């Protein structure tokens, strides 16, 4: 576990993270405005067509409560990117703090399952060939 985290002090738009391979769930420990300004951190999951798949939010908290302030989303459709955004856009001091980003990649097809399918197809073809014999 490291001591690094990402903190942004800016009002424009959300922080966008794009994954090189799609994921099924994403989450992070977050807060905003150092917990001094009421608001919430909104996490939005997007598909590859920028369609919204899932949204979740948690309130901003003081720094002392930050380690327990986790927000996460999951989807049955692949998540291509996420947005983290502070709902408080009214002041010039609009911090978004993000730590302990976690995500679950879309599982790759299991090679054992693929092998079973291929074996089943082979057995089925052999069975059909034996069963269908030309009459002489």
Evaluate whether residue 98 is within a structural domain. yes
Q: What is the pTM of this model?
A: 0.70
Between the alpha carbon of residue 111 and those of residues 104, 114, 115, 116, 119, the distances in Å are 19, 5, 6, 9, 12
Q: Which of 3-12, 58-67, 90-99 has the lowest mean pLDDT?
A: 3-12
Residue scoring higher pLDDT (127 or 103) = 103
Task: Look at residue 102 and tell me if it is in a domain.
Answer: yes
Domain presence at residue 118:
no
Structural domains counted in the chain: 1
Residue that is written with structure tokens 């608001």 in the block: 39
Three-point CA angle 120, 121, 124, nearest 5°: 85
Interval 61-67 mean pLDDT: 79
SS3 state at 103: strand
Task: Please report, for the domain that includes residue 33, its CATH number.
Answer: 2.60.120.260
Query: Which of 65, 78, 62, 63 is CA-nearest to residue 26?
Result: 78
Mean predicted confidence (pLDDT) in 89-108? 74
- Confidence tier at 25 by pLDDT (50, 70, 90): very high
């Amino acid at each position: 576990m490291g001591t690094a985290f990402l903190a942004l002090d800016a009002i424009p738009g959300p922080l966008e993270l794009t994954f090189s391979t799609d994921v099924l769930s994403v989450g992070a420990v977050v807060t905003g405005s150092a917990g001094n300004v009421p608001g919430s951190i909104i996490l939005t999951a997007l598909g590859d067509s920028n369609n919204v798949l899932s949204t979740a939010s948690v309130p901003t908290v003081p720094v002392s409560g930050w380690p327990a302030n986790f927000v996460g989303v999951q989807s049955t459709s692949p998540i291509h990117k996420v947005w983290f955004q502070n709902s408080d856009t009214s002041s010039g001091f609009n911090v978004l703090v993000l730590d302990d980003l976690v995500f679950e990649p879309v599982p790759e097809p299991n090679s054992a399952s693929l092998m079973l399918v291929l074996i089943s197809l082979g057995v089925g073809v052999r069975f059909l060939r034996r069963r269908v014999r030309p009459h002489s």
